Every structure is written in structure tokens, then in C-alpha cells.
Structure 1
Amino acid sequence: MSKEWIGKTSNKVKNTVDRLLVKRFAESIGDLHPIFVDETYGEKSKYGVNIAPPTFPRVFDYGVLEGVDLPMKGLIHGEETYQYERPLLVGEEVYCYTIIQDYYERKGKSGDMGFVVIKRVGEDAKGNIIFTEIQNVIITEAVRKGINV
């Protein structure tokens, strides 16, 4: 884990806000609001189409961060926030990428912990930002030393 990660940016990846995925996602989170799942309701809405639930971007591909090797197991999800410029529209293409915004360390009860601040961005085809997500990931001492957790 290193401060050298700060500023690293992934490649942009094209994702599609797929109607069936939006419906399945809405079902999985228990929010079947008609703006997410009812096509007629979406057509009559101010957007003219259905929109995706606010946390839907979790299913997107955000590209590869070369040289950043976060463990696949044992990380702690610290915090996550989304900021939208507008809703995600069903059927649209979204170009997503990741930026490492910060890395710092703190002492905890069970040893040193690393904190990675990850920014994920979704843009439309013209490069306009649709949403940003800021996520804090905690890397425990056990994970940092490669101990099976």
C-alpha cells in the first residue's frame, strides 16, 4: 500500500444502463418504485424513460488501475457517497473510470490500517459528468501483512 497510488486513473469503460439489470437491481434492494421498473410510468415521467436507483453504479465496470493491487479479500467498506448531476437513464451509455484520490495510514486497536479514498466517475458520451462516487476502503493490519482473514 503506497502513497504512490494517489492520482492513478483507470481506463474509461463503456457501460449501458440496461433495463433488465435496473429491474433486477431494484428487486434486489427491495425498491420497486415504478420510476425504476414500470416502462409506461417512465415514459410519462419528466425524464421520458425509466431511471436507475441511486446506488445502481455499483454494477458498472470502472476499468483497471495499473499498479494498484488492492486485496480481493479482507477489506473493510468504510463509507460511500454519491453525487448526481442528473439521474441515470435506462438505455444510455455511461463511461466510467476510477481515480485514487488519497491514501493515508492510522493506528487502530488491531494495528496499523491503510485508508484508500477512491473516486469513481460516470460520464455521458459527450464527457459530461453524470455522477461521482467517493468510497473509503480500509485495509487492516492483517490484510496488509497477508495474513488469512
Structure 2
Amino acid sequence: MYKDLIGKKSSKVKSTIERGMVTRFAESIGDLNPIYVDEEVGKKSRYGGNIAPPTFPRVLSSGVIEGLKLPKKGLIHGEQNYHYKRPLLVGEDIYSYSVIEDYYEKQGSNGLMGFLSTKRYGEDANGELVFTEESIIIITETVRKAMKV
């Protein structure tokens, strides 16, 4: 279904790690660790400022992969992993893009399921890798059939 998209990537999208957005994100996940929200704590930290929570890249835009059409509903969030070279710093610009890593299918108890594996990259203004986010989206038989209509 998506095999022809393996290796395709989006263009880079610039996002600024804004203090207000980090605070709202920390509140939404119920983790108000002072390193995320307290400016004084951030200044005294080894980073010299506040950082974003580890799952924050989820809210960053990473562009559109041409040809990738996913349904608006019915997808299952299968897996997500983050790997960091260093934390995201409040105030910095990050350039994110996504790549289709793989697509495979498995027979399940409710029919054939598709597994779409993507990887998002986040780089700083110098082009240095800051993080990667690996994600698997599960496409159920019901959703697959609806997409073919």
C-alpha cells in the first residue's frame, strides 16, 4: 500500500521552541518540572536555560511527504521512540523533516494490518542533529478497505 513511498522525505520546516508552548505542553502532560517552566532554574542549569520535555517534538511541524495520504481517523498509534543528542533549548530554532522508513503488513485476528514506519529528524540552525523520533502507525483492515473506495 505504501511501499512505493519508502525513502521519500519532506522538506525541512523551521520551528522555534517557544517558552509559552513548552509551558502549555508541560501542563498538558502533567509534568511541570522546573527545568521546563521556571526561568531561574533554567538559567542555573547546565544548559543555561530551560529545555523542552522529551516528547515535545510531537507538536513540531515536519512538512508534508508528497504522495502520503493517511485517513483522518481510524489509525492506531503503534509505537514512538525519541533519541536525543542533546535537549531542545527554549528559544532555539529547530528544522524538522520526516522520512518514510518502511511499510509492511501482518495478518491479525481482525484482518490484514499495515505498519507504516516513519522517522522525524530535528536539526539546529547549524545543521547538527538534535533528535530523531521513530514512529509506527498501524492501519487496520477496516481503514485499509475504506481508503480503497
TM tier, shorter chain?
Answer: over 0.9
Tell me how many residue pairs correspond in the alignment. Answer: 147
Per-residue CA distance 1:93-148 (angstroms, 9 max, x = gap): 0000000000001111111111000101100011111000000110000000117x
| Structure 1: gaps (5+ residues) | none
Cα distance in 1 for partners of 2:2, 2:56 equals: 30
- Please state whether the residue corresponding to 1:145 is helix, strand or coil: helix
Runs of 4+ in 1 over 6 A off after TM superposition: none
Range that drifts further, 2-11 or 84-93: 2-11
Cα distance in 2 for partners of 1:3, 1:100 equals: 9
Per-residue CA distance 1:41-69 (angstroms, 9 max, x = gap): 10111111100000001110010010011
- CA RMSD in angstroms comes to 0.8
What's 2:111 paired with?
A: 111
Cα distance in 1 for partners of 2:67, 2:120 equals: 17
Q: How far has the Cα of 1:89 moved from its partner? A: 0.1
TM-score between both structures, scaled by the size of structure 1: 0.97
TM-score between both structures, scaled by the size of structure 2: 0.97
Per-residue CA distance 1:58-93 (angstroms, 9 max, x = gap): 110010010011112100000100000000000000
Cα distance in 1 for partners of 2:146, 2:62 equals: 26
Match of 2:28, as an amino acid? S
What's 2:75 paired with?
A: 75
Cα distance in 1 for partners of 2:59, 2:103 equals: 24
Match of 1:29, as an amino acid? I
Identity of aligned residues (%): 63
What's 2:62 paired with?
A: 62
What's 2:90 paired with?
A: 90
Cα distance in 2 for partners of 1:145, 1:40 equals: 54
